[in-house]
A and B are shown apart, each in its own frame.
Chain A
Amino acid sequence: MKLNRRQFFIGASGALAFASTPYLLKGAGIASEKPIRVANILDKTGILNIYSLKQIQATAMAVDEINSTGGLLGRPVELFFYDSQSDGQYNSKYVTEALVKDSVNVIHGGITSSSREVMRPIVSRFKGLLFYNSLYEGGVCDRRHVSTGMVPAQQLEPLMDYVISELGHKKCYILAADYNYGHITSKWMQKFVRERGGEDLAVEFFPLDVNNFQPALSRIQSAKPDIVLSALVGGAHIAFYRQFESTIGKDKIALASGTYGVGLEHTQLSAKEGNGIIIATSFFDDLNTDEANAFVKRFKEYTGDKSYVGEYAEYGERGIKIWAESVRQAGNASPEACIEALSKGTVSINGAGGVYTVDGKTNHTTMDIHIVTGHNQRFNVVKSFKQRPPRDTQMVCDLHQNPDDSTQYEPEV
């Protein structure tokens, strides 16, 4: 059969109309409302992806679970993932793309403070909403930014209490990553140490690709501290914990950290290298509550990965669940409605690490905190604190009074 052009077009358009019928009918049905769009911008590749890989999976799992239980407000949730490749320029590119091209209702993402600070002004410009699911240095006062992770008053303050007041390690030597997180965190460390009558002997910063710590270890030896406090970040810096153990050893100088474990460092070091490192965390696999055990089990089943799950994976689920609760309370998935619901201070969920409540004045989260020590590539709990508020940010930030604030406040030392 030979077709002329006109016959071909008539036939083709007929075939196209027939083929698209299921889609047209589907769109008219009640069960398939327009989806609520969620963006997830994290580092799947590059040197910082040790923090992101499991969070990406946990975010997807949380979205799948919402969809399998009837969606949000009767609408399905659609997840858009963007790989920011451990490079801030991709955060700015993708946050713009998510808000402008894909018109997402909310963005979950950013691990480092530098990536967050790249995204925050763009989120404000396009009137979006950013959930930052990561521990950080605190102080961001912005109604379009929600922090679901630990801030220094929640994490470092109890850690310093334990280390200085209970263990009596008064002389501290601080090592931190050389970018805004490390700089501000080291100030918090100094502040908490001094407030407790301790002494900060020195503060040193290391760019993220430094992996030779021998000169620093020799300086630490000559300074003779009781304890080394680390806010080191990323895959290269893991070398520090290894070189510390083979050069000095935790039996001579103790080691505490605000970042150890969140990149699953303890699974990559030997038991001896990780044993005894003191950290404060809001979630670890051996928390041993029903919720925590259930989360670990679900995550392992969902991913098929039997290895240690960790806090940053849990942050992924935590972020989505808190956001979903704000949508339910608002009865609307628009950023403005969610922000309004969050500001009431009633958004609270029962998550894997206990109860998480978003503080309406600061958009930061109150949570349980645990002091734990490294033991055979896992953690043993030493002490727990129920429902610690984000006190540092509460002291400087009040979004009820100043809804237009978008400052990040820093501590004075």
Chain B
Amino acid sequence: MEPIINYLFQIGFSFSIFILISLGLAVIFGMMRIINLAQGEFLMLGAYFCTICTQSGINLWLSIIIAALAVGICGIIIERLLIQWLYGRILDTLLATWGLSLLLVGAITTIFGPQTESIASPLGNVALGELLIPIYGIFMIATSLVLLLLLYLLWRHTRFGLIVRSTMQNSGAASTLGINQNLVYMLTFGFGCMLTGFAGAILVPIVGAYPTLGLVYIAKSFVTVISGGSLPLLGTISASSLFGTIDGVIATISTSVIGEIVVLFVAIILLRMLPLGITGRMTKGV
């Protein structure tokens, strides 16, 4: 029984990391088609905001919320200053966001220094027979599931979700119907950044915050979103489940390095067979 629970936990944990780091990018790249190379740095900002809040005495759970909102606001500011001039210009966006990424890493290094800032991992562990499992890991799995549910409700059952989806599908038609597409783009970008900042804040108690933290996750999140295909939510779920299962099992049997190699290998084969991603041919749903 214990080995099965252990595998389930490892898979769930890996799944939750894939979900957390990819959801923001699924909005920004999957829906808005912006190749945002600074996505990892938004995650890093979330980690730093959360650390600063916690170190100044704010409760960790509140800090995570504050960090997510703060990164969302940063995202809106960056959209107004930089991204809004570049919609539809993929190569220019790529260069501009790469520059933004370097700028943010440099700025954070200058302000906080290059060392790892961290906060203590909360909650301790729970024993299942002889197997010890960190409660924070279980919290991460639960959080990612709740987040998915909330996003589903948001996209499918709110007016905001409807407007965003229609604008992304056909901005011309949406604006004829009286929708302010500038505003929608701005809010959607900010929302994507907020999700990424949330991921950074959630990850901080286990990995710490350092200026180059984003680089660890940026490639993984792009691979997940691209493999997921055009539907931001279903695509991310399916790709994360696939990669999380592979990574969780392989990394437990052999090593983390082999786990990552196999994930990338599977992604290559997957994209060879389904160039548009897992949900590439689906037109309905989110």
Query: Residues of A at under 8 Å CB distance from B?
Result: 45-47, 49-50, 53, 178, 204-207, 209-216, 218-219, 221-222, 235-236, 238-239, 242-243, 245-249, 252, 264, 268-270, 272-273
The one of B13, B216, B256 that contacts A206, using a Cβ cutoff of 8 Å? B256
Binds A, one of B61-69, B81-89, B125-133, B234-242: B125-133
Residue numbers in B under 8 Å from A47 (CB-CB): 210, 212
Whole-angstrom CA separation of A154 from B35 in the bound complex: 52
Contacts of B14 in A (CB 8 A): 214
Contact call B256/A235, Cβ cutoff below 8 A: no
Query: Is B118 touching A269 in the complex (CB atoms < 8 A)?
Result: yes
- Contact in complex: A215, B114 (CB < 8 Å): no
What are some 20 contacts across the A-B interface (CB < 8 A)?
A47-B210, A49-B114, A50-B114, A53-B113, A53-B114, A211-B207, A211-B216, A215-B248, A215-B255, A216-B256, A218-B131, A222-B3, A238-B208, A239-B207, A242-B118, A242-B208, A247-B134, A247-B137, A269-B120, A270-B119
Decide: B118 and A238 in contact? CB cutoff 8 A.
yes
Contact B115 A272 (CB under 8 A): no
Q: Are A247's CB and B125's CB within 8 A?
A: yes
Query: A212 and B17 in contact (CB under 8 A), knowing A53-B114, A238-B118, A246-B136?
Result: yes
Question: Is the pair A264, B206 in contact by a Cβ cutoff of 8 Å?
Answer: no
- In the complex, what residues of B have CB within 8 A of residue A216's CB? 255-256
Which A residues are CB-close (under 8 A) to B207? 211-212, 236, 239
Which residues on the A side are within 8 Å of B280 (C-beta)? none
Not counting A211-B216, A246-B205, A249-B124, a sample of 5 additional A-B residue pairs whose C-beta atoms are within 8 angstroms of each other reads A45-B114, A214-B10, A221-B6, A243-B121, A247-B125
Q: In the assembled complex, which residues on chain A have CB atoms less than 8 Å from the CB atom of B17?
A: 212
Complex CA–CA separation, A115 to B14 (angstroms)? 33
Interfacial chain A residues near B117, Cβ < 8 Å: 268
Bitwise, B243-264 to A at CB < 8 A (1) or not (0) is 0000010011001110100000
Docked-complex contact B130 and A212, CB < 8 angstroms: no
Q: Does B123 contact A (CB under 8 A)?
A: yes
In Å, the complex CA distance between A205 and B136 comes to 25
Bound CA–CA A264/B118 (angstroms): 13
Complex Cα gap A45–B9 (Å): 37
Query: Nearest Cβ distance between residue A262 and chain B, in whole angstroms?
Result: 13
Contact B114 A273 (CB under 8 A): no
| A268-B125 CB under 8 A given contacts A209-B215, A215-B252, A247-B134 | no
Assess whether B109 is interfacial by the CB under 8 Å rule.
yes
A211-B216, A239-B208 are known contacts. Are A246 and B124 too (CB-CB below 8 A)? yes
Cα–Cα distance between A178 and B120 once the two chains are bound (Å) = 26
Closest to B250 in A: A215
Interface residues of B in 167-209 (CB under 8 A from A): 205-208
Given known contacts A211-B207, A248-B132, A270 and B120 CB-to-CB distance under 8 angstroms: yes
Given contacts A214-B13, A215-B259, A235-B210, contact A242 B130 (CB under 8 A): no
Q: Chain A residues near B255 (CB, 8 Å)?
A: 204-206, 215-216
CA distance in complex: A216, B10 (Å): 10
Contacting residues, chain A, for B136 (C-beta < 8 A): 246
Which of the residues B116, B123, B212, B256 comes within 8 Å of A210, measured between beta carbons?
A: B256
Q: Is the CB of A219 within 8 A of B115?
A: no
**A238 CA to B213 CA in the complex, in Å?**
13
Q: Are A239 and B206 in contact (CB under 8 A)?
A: yes
Q: Tell whether A268 pairs with B137 under 8 Å between CB atoms, given A214-B13, A215-B252, A246-B123.
A: no
Task: For the complex, give the distance between the alpha carbons of A175 and B234 in Å.
Answer: 38
A212-B17, A215-B10 given; A268·B118 CB < 8 A: yes
- Which 5 A-B pairs rank lowest in CB-CB distance, beginning with the nearest? A270-B120, A215-B251, A246-B121, A211-B207, A247-B134
Q: A71 CB to closest chain B CB, in angstroms?
A: 33
Contact with A along B116-156 (1 / 0, CB 8 A): 11111111110000111111110000000000000000000
Residue of A nearest to B257 (CB): A207
**Chain A nearest CB, measured from B74 CB (Å):** 23
Chain B residue at minimum C-beta to C-beta distance from A47: B212
**Closest chain B residue to A267, Cβ basis:** B115
**Are B124 and A268 touching (Cβ within 8 A)?**
no
A239–B136 Cα gap in the complex (Å)? 14
Contact indicator B121/A219 (Cβ below 8 Å): no
Q: Please, how many angstroms separate the alpha-carbon atoms of A218 and B6 in the complex? A: 7
Q: Distance (Å) between the CB of B107 and the closest chain A CB? A: 13
User: Could you say which residues of chain B place their CB within 8 Å of the CB of A268?
Assistant: 115-118, 208
* B-chain residues with CB within 8 Å of residue A246 when the two chains form the complex: 121-125, 134-136, 205-206
The interface residues of chain A lying within 8 Å CB-to-CB of B120 are 242, 269-270, 272-273
A263 nearest CB across to chain B (Å) = 8
CA distance A384 to B131 in the complex (A): 37
In whole angstroms, what is the CA distance A222 to B132 when docked? 10
Partner of A243, one of B6, B134, B257: B134
From known contacts A47-B212, A209-B215, A242-B205, infer whether A264 and B115 are also in contact, taking CB-CB under 8 Å: yes
User: Is there contact, CB below 8 Å, between A247 and B10?
Assistant: no
List of A residues within 8 angstroms of B130 by Cβ: 221
CA distance A53 to B216 in the complex (A): 23
Nearest chain B CB to A56 CB, angstrom units: 12
Among A178, A218, A239, A248, which residue has its beta carbon within 8 angstroms of that of B125? A248
Which of A49, A219, A242, A272 has the most chain B CB within a 10 Å cutoff?
A242
A264 to B114 CA separation, bound complex (whole angstroms): 12
Hey, which chain B residues are within 8 Å of A49, CB to CB? 114-115
Establish whether residues A218 and B121, one from each chain, have CB atoms under 8 Å apart when the complex forms. no
Cβ A238 vs Cβ B116 within 8 A: yes
A207 to B255, CA, bound (A): 11
- Given the complex, which residues of A lie within 8 Å of B123, measured CB to CB? 246
**Distance between Cα atoms of A209 and B10 in the complex (Å):** 20
Query: CB-CB < 8 A to B131: which residues of A?
Result: 218, 221
Cα–Cα, bound, A47→B211 (Å): 9
- Which partner residue on chain B sits nearest A264 by CB separation? B115
CA distance A219 to B13 in the complex (A): 15
Q: Which residues of B contact A211 (CB under 8 A)?
A: 206-208, 216
Q: State how many angstroms separate the Cβ of B103 from the closest Cβ of chain A.
A: 15
Task: Please state if B256 and A215 are interface contacts (CB–CB under 8 Å).
Answer: yes
- For B215, the chain A residues whose CB sits under 8 A away are 209
